[in-house]
Structure 1
Amino acid sequence: MSAPNTLTATEIARQIDAGTLSAEAVLRAHLDRIDQRDADVLAWSHLARDAALEKAKALDRGPRKGLLHGVPMGVKDIIDSYDQPTGYGSPIYKTHQPLADAATVALARDAGAILLGKTVTTEFANRFPGPTRNPHNPAHTPGGSSSGSAAAVADYQVTLATGTQTGGSVIRPAAFCGIVGYKPTYGHFPTAGMKANTEWLDTIGAYARSLDDIALFRAALMAIPYRPIEAPLSPPRIAVCYTHHKAELSPEGRAAVESAAAALAKAGAKVTEIDLPAPVSDMTAGQKTLSAFDGPRAHADEARRFQDLLSKSLREDKLAAGAKIDHTAWTAARRLGEHGRAAVDALFDDIDVILTAPAPGEAPVGLGFTGHATFNLLWTYLWMPCVTLPFTRGPNGLPVGIQLVGRQHEDARLLDLAAWVQGALR
């Protein structure tokens, strides 16, 4: 019998419903795993051990609460929780206690999830890293900025977790840690109660170890009816897109996309390679303009009152760069995004899903750099839903994934197509 902390959320819910497993047993198994492993992984900024156990016992005494009844959840420490500290990855907020839950936290709890704790984030979900290590090899980064969430799910310390993505902060850590990561269409998950970074890009995302769990989690976080994933019966039309950064792929990153495309074609998919049309071909500068412009505005209070507590990278990179961008450049970047979304949406008249890389390759060595977001920035800017699947291993034995990108607002269909892809690759 599998240890409860290795079960998926879907399996936990099924077994609790059947009476063969209790929420308390699930929670204790996760705490045992944390005790065994987190000194090496360092995924948590706060662990609510006693409160989580009490919640599990209360759930065991009462009727079924919702889709996530008894499922332990981690929340990126950039997202507010009324009963647990929220530090935003900054010493400025080391004693900060919000008065309310963020919308996604409240919705998950309302569905029966147990908030096990807050997971490590980079400073304000930017570039300055926290202490978290890759659970596959502690000498390597887990990615960022949602480092703790990805590492905790990958290491079986928690079943589900939330992250946030402004550039590549959900998809890249999932790929580096070898789990399923999902960045929804912009705006699908409510961002109320999240510390803002870049208003027109910030997207809350989800981590799990199965696509079925992503579908379950998605329904809870959107407060919509749950629909199980249904892989299409007919092979889909898959467009391989390396983007204009193809030369930046490592050998293992390029090989993963190529071998996945070959396997999917063999399984019957219509696989073609596409180049993105103008103005989508190169939107990296526009994404960086939007992100930098919001820096001095999102962090105005911290920069005014606590500048000496901000990291050098935040002060000299994002805040300094943002101060030099005028409103005309920001407006142009907003318009470029609008034109790009229209252009790329038209592609989906002839394709079903885009296959691309989630990162240049496996996680780089060292903890001072969380990896390049090169293969994520574009899709975040275009507000498109993305899911990354673990696929193979790189030269250092670390996970290398693939990324699937869907049409804006067709997130359920993307998950269906991802299930077909996963089945074909197996």
Structure 2
Amino acid sequence: MKLTKTGEGVLRKFDMDEIMNCMHCGFCLPACPTFRQTGLESYGPRGRIALMKGVANEKLSIDHEFEKNMFACLGCRACETACPAGVAYGSLIETARVVIEENKKSQAKPPLARKIAFEHLFPHPKRMEWMGTVLWAAQAAGLQNLASKTGLIKVLPRPLAEMQEAVETVASPKERKKRQLKMNAEKEKLFTVGLFTGCVMDVMFYETNQATARLLTKAGCDVVFVENQSCCGALHAHSGEMNGAKGLAKRNIEAFEKANVDFVVNNAGGCGAALKEYHHWFHDEPEWKERAMAFVEKMRDANELLAELPPLSFTKPMNVRITYQDSCHLAHGQGIRNQPRELIRSIPGAQYVELHQADSCCGSAGIYNMTNYDMSMQILDDKMEDVKKTKAHLIVTSNPGCLLQMKQGIIRTGMQDKIEAIHIMDLLARAL
């Protein structure tokens, strides 16, 4: 794959001021999971920024090696936390991937699977719901267990074959039909909030969304399941499909504008980071940037808002040892670290133990555990060694991808009888 655009055209894509802000000091390297695994400069933030600079100045080609280095990045943004110069690495890596994908599209049609996923599946909530129904039917018919027991599951690529073991029973169509589009506060109403349900979140973790809504009603909020919302666009943005991401952002902005709620609440760290950065996506569309900023001002992570509301009244002591794995995009992207821990500590009987390097990526990173399986599992196995040392009964996280990854980690280490992975909203609901 050769550089087909002019250097000037590529240069305009990159924020050269941001690239030049990198002092090449190396503070980012110990924080970077892929650099820690490989020791390769091109697998660290500093090296990747140097490669971006070379491409932007037309000294390097947009070739396979450049693509490999850019997509080997987890996008965890731990380097942003470590960086003394405050380099916005997250936006730089997204730009690099946009440049790569635009260059590839100028030479050949994108793979069919990619086109289906980004254009015909994730942007369409009804189709995602249908996929959930298919998965539920397969589980209800025992096909998932049968495939595992007979070995038929091995016909799938290894990442999918192992991941399916971590997938729990999804909600039935009958259960989904019971959802009330509005749930009223159980005491004096303080706010009306719109719950951002997400795409994968509402398919595979429907009960977690319902638990989040119940917690918010107990804390004094009317909760609205806003209609016509869509995928947040994070997966598109991280994969170089920025036009698709912006289209999804516009749909969500319009949907929540019409809902006229006090806050927009989400319970997925990865989605939340994207939702809170919508205004950065529209630097070339002033009208949409203004509307996006108004949307962002209303955005709250569920942990963030619950920590601000009157304390929940827990009635069920949980005499268990609990540890917490930070969602990268919640901790590094949104700066939300203390609130989840405070909520866990507020549960009667809970013994909280801090996880070593809790804010180091678990290796999930959207679809990274499928596109970069070996690296993802190396990172996960290291994480599970730290989890073992906590001797916790529960490992809690705040992102669906992290939750599936931790469930997979538990299976890989054979600890199914010793520890359970759970979303923090499900944990809090259980304590109620």
Smaller-chain TM-score bracket: under 0.3
**Which structure has greater helix proportion?**
2
Scaled by the length of structure 1, what TM-score is found? 0.26
Scaled by the length of structure 2, what TM-score is found? 0.26
**Which structure has greater strand proportion?**
1
- Structure exhibiting the larger radius of gyration computed from Cα positions: 2
